[in-house]
Chain A
Amino acid sequence: MDKCCNRCTHSAENPCRNYIKCRVNGPLCHEDEDCKKKRQQRISELENGKGGIRISIGMGSCGLAVGAREVYRSVEEEVKIRGLEATIVSVGCMGLCYAEPLVEIRKRGLPSAIYSKVAPEAVGEILDRYLSGDVSNAFALRERKGDAKGVLNVPLLEEVDFYKYQVKWVTRNCGIVNPESIEEYVAHGGYLGLSRALELSPSDVIEEVKKSGLRGRGGAGFPTWLKWDICRKAEGEPKYVICNADEGDPGAFMNRMLAEADPHRVLEGLIIAAYAIGASHGYIFVRAEKPLMADRLEKAVIEARRYGLLGENILDSHMNFDVEVVRSAGAFVCGEETAMLAAIEGRRAMPRQRPPYPATHGLFGKPTIINNVETLAHVATIMADGWEKFAKYGTERSKGTKVFCLTGCVMRTGAAEVPIGTTIRDLVFKIGGGVREGRKLKAVQIGGPSGGCLPESMMDLPIDYESLTAAGAIMGSGGLVVIDDGNCIVDVARFFTTFTMAESCGKCLPCRVGSKILYDTLTRIIEGNGVEEDLDTLENVGRFIAKTSLCALGQTAPNPVLSTLRYFRGEYEVHIKEKMCPAKICRKLVSYTIDKNICIGCGLCAKQCPSEAIVKDADGKYSIDSDKCIRCGQCFILCPRSAVVKG
């Protein structure tokens, strides 16, 4: 972030109040056409790249998993071979996970084009065709301009099904800005929200958040302003703010996506929160399994400090605030507020009784607020754009937009931001494209291990905090796992119970012992030893855990079991009465045979079979003696030709 000339005096030590605004509309403290031109040129260079070409590669964790790093290398090589002057940047995930790796090319005079599922070998051809003015092989275009070949046939990004129904509010920068460049964030309107907040009084900032109707995006949906207000009025110094980036719900990665793709927005939200409650120190608590997110946030903190957006007298407002990124050592329960406090204090992460709430008695016994990544990103956007634009979306009681992650057996997986109140059906079918051909939608699991499974008949339910809770699920962090008829609902319920059993911190009995009873009972059913009373056991124990557990993790732990019992009782009964698994998933309830047309007689299965149930026949191929078979499923897993058939 170069100065325009010597008249600009801003530095971290000697901050200027108008620094951020000046970067976008400046210079403000003096009139100079040259300086103005310099600023605008720089912004245009950031947008269009050096030499007028900018190539961005989606390198979030998901992109990397399908080879974005190789694509990046290939882009570098091809650009060098052609002697092009171009800016190559790695950007975060834009939510289109099903189409990764993604490459976007932008050149002055041509429409910016996005290419999907790019293989490293294809980069050269893509570049050549684009530069010669042919975009017909692109996945989508950002804008429709110029007379490039194919410009009218390729859809605009907002015409692509996955994008059409979305509202890009908090994810607006994802996949567009370079997450490691504070300058790009500022050029895209970043830190204007902070600038504006610092001109208001802290109570006016809280008022603005109150008007927006923002509720916590981490799960419980507590009004953000109220938490802040309680903490602001609480006695005790110093006060702390914590960004909860311990995203642990399986099936949810919106926080990872936001923090990897646009970390400064999260940081900006945290600084605003600190200003509102009067905190001088903050923490960002990041999950151990998501190291890239921690790296990006750490870099953002260093950059912000360098330009005086953290530290002493931030933007000459007399506000002092600094942030430390803390990496979790890995425990799901850390997502619970009081457990997270214990982890930051260096102890075993065990929740404690609430009240007192952290807003009055938090970190080191001082008033503390803990906000989720997405909530803070919303705060930054609300402060920049004003509450009216945010409150336009959503329902009466749940305002704004929410990012949902679509995964599981759905055609188009990824993260989509939609107004709260969108129906599950719209998310799964219009955006996600429904389930694979030949399959039927069975259930949608919402809200992670604390959530519930909703059947096909509930698909028209609007997704908001109240509707979901009434249906026995929760919004949670917003993970939607689509389950098709190839999956067994009892198995899914047991999967979640395994999860909560393993992640129970062990402090209180209902959760520690209760989850074990649920697990044992479900295992009995899955293995064909279930009795009819088992269903009552599940219900009674489940309700007991929900009523008597200490923390929210325990209280919601039986949700997957209770909700599947409520909507899929029939499937449980078939397992118990007929000793049958309709989806052929539960190993002990299926029989195995070998398809002799596929078997190559390698004998791998027979060698491995623990009960010597597999024998070689006269034709040199193998078969299974079903009386001896203990249904361990090893042969099914091992067979190199998939000749073992489940029946």
Chain B
Amino acid sequence: MSEKPEKERIDLVEKIIENIAERYNEPRKALILTLQKIQNSLGYLPRWSLELVSNHLKMPLSTIYGVATFYHQFNLKPPGRNIIQLCMGTACHIRGNSENYAFLLNLLNIDPGENTSKDGLFTVLKVRCLGCCSLAPVVKVNDDIYGKVDFSTIRRIISKYRLATRELHVVSRETR
């Protein structure tokens, strides 16, 4: 069953699909770009958005689902507020990022098989090489890259983002 989205969000997604369709003769060839843009604005790809794409591009939902699940970039579930990517490249592996990963899951109290903390603040992902191998091990939080990371730097990084997210929360409550 698909969740019921708000009208603005439907409009947003339809606009994205139409914009791309205008630019390409064969919009089906731009399927990946379409999904990327939708994810950029919604944060993930809810089922209803894939259904919209399917209707507009006249493609089977199964094909779209096949593409969306093939590539690492796409999330079908809503991610946490902060995305933490741990590089799992060779250099990062031999410099200890596998241990950092285990440490981080433990620190954020994330259950095995899950990747998002229960408070919804953090999603932890393994990625294959961010290309900063000379600074291994590397961790990326949202758009910021941190090099030569160990347990204590991870602790510092997490509390920094926890604080920042909480402040954001307070501000938005006050403005309300």
Please count how many residues in chain A sit with their CB below 8 Å of the partner chain's CB atoms.
59
Contacts A66-B135, A495-B93, A638-B106 known; A330 to B71 CB distance under 8 Å?
Answer: yes
A249-B129, A329-B71, A492-B94 are known contacts. Are A407 and B134 too (CB-CB below 8 A)?
Answer: yes
Complex-state Cα separation, A608 to B107, whole angstroms: 11
Q: Residue of B at shortest CB range from A415?
A: B134
Q: With a CB–CB cut-off of 8 A, which chain B residues contact A250? A: 88-93, 128-129, 133
Check A481 against B129 for contact (C-beta < 8 Å): no
A327→B72 CA distance, assembly (Å): 13
Asked if A637 contacts B151 (CB within 8 A), the reply is yes
Q: State whether the Cβ of A40 lies closer than 8 Å to any Cβ in chain B.
A: no
B70 adjacent to A481 (CB under 8 Å): no
- B35 nearest in chain A by CB position: A329
Interface residue tally for chain B (C-beta within 8 Å): 43
Whether A327 touches B94, Cβ cut-off 8 Å, given contacts A406-B134, A479-B133, is no
Are the CB atoms of B70 and A483 closer together than 8 Å? no
Does B30 sit within 8 A of A, measured CB to CB?
yes
Most chain B CB atoms below 10 A, which of A253, A331, A496:
A253
**Contact indicator B135/A408 (Cβ below 8 Å):** no
Q: Is the CB of B135 within 8 A of A97?
A: yes
In the complex the two chains form, is A64's CB within 8 Å of B145's CB?
yes
Classify the interface of chain A: helix, strand, loop or mixed.
Answer: mixed
Verify if A349 is at the interface (C-beta below 8 Å from B): yes
Contact with A along B35-57 (1 / 0, CB 8 A): 11000000000000000000000
* Cα distance A97–B130 in the bound complex, in angstroms: 14
Contact A637 B106 (CB under 8 A): yes
Docked-complex contact A481 and B131, CB < 8 angstroms: no
B107: nearest chain-A partner, CB-CB: A638
Chain A residues, Cβ within 8 Å of B86? none
Closest CB of chain B to A538's CB: distance in Å? 20
Q: How far is the CA of A528 from the CA of B165 in the complex (A)?
A: 44
A278 within 8 A of B: no
A405 touches B133 (CB 8 A): yes
Distance A64 CA – B132 CA, assembled complex (angstroms): 10
Are the C-beta atoms of B135 and A62 separated by less than 8 Å?
yes
Name the one of A61, A328, A634 contacting B132, with C-beta atoms under 8 angstroms: A61
- List which B104-123 residues lie within 8 A (CB) of chain A: 106
Interface pair B95/A349, CB less than 8 Å apart: no
Chain A hits for B70, CB < 8 A: 331, 348-349, 505
B171 close to chain A: CB less than 8 A: no
Stretch at the interface among A22-30, A339-347, A543-551: A339-347
User: What CA separation (Å) do A348 and B135 show in the bound complex?
Assistant: 33
Given A327-B36, A481-B94, is A251 in contact with B72 using a C-beta cutoff of 8 Å? no
Partner of B103, one of A288, A290, A348, A637: A637
B17 on interface, CB distance cutoff 8 Å: no
Q: Name the residue of chain B whose CB is nearest to the CB of A449.
A: B90
Taking the closest CB of chain A, its distance from the CB of B47, in whole angstroms, is 18
The one of A252, A330, A483 in contact with B73, judged by C-beta atoms closer than 8 angstroms, is A330
| With known contacts A64-B145, A637-B151, A253–B94 Cβ distance under 8 A | no
Q: What residue in chain B is nearest A333 (Cβ atoms)?
A: B70
Point out residues on A near B: beta carbons under 8 Å.
61-62, 64-66, 97-98, 100, 247-253, 256, 288-290, 326-332, 343-349, 405-409, 413-415, 445, 448, 479, 481, 483, 487, 492, 495-496, 499, 502-503, 505, 608, 633-634, 637-638
The 12 listed contacts between A and B (C-beta, < 8 Å) are A62-B147, A66-B147, A346-B28, A346-B32, A408-B91, A413-B91, A481-B133, A495-B94, A496-B90, A634-B102, A637-B106, A637-B151
In the A-B complex, list the 6 residue pairs whose CB atoms are closest, starting with the nearest: A250-B89, A97-B134, A413-B134, A329-B71, A330-B72, A407-B133
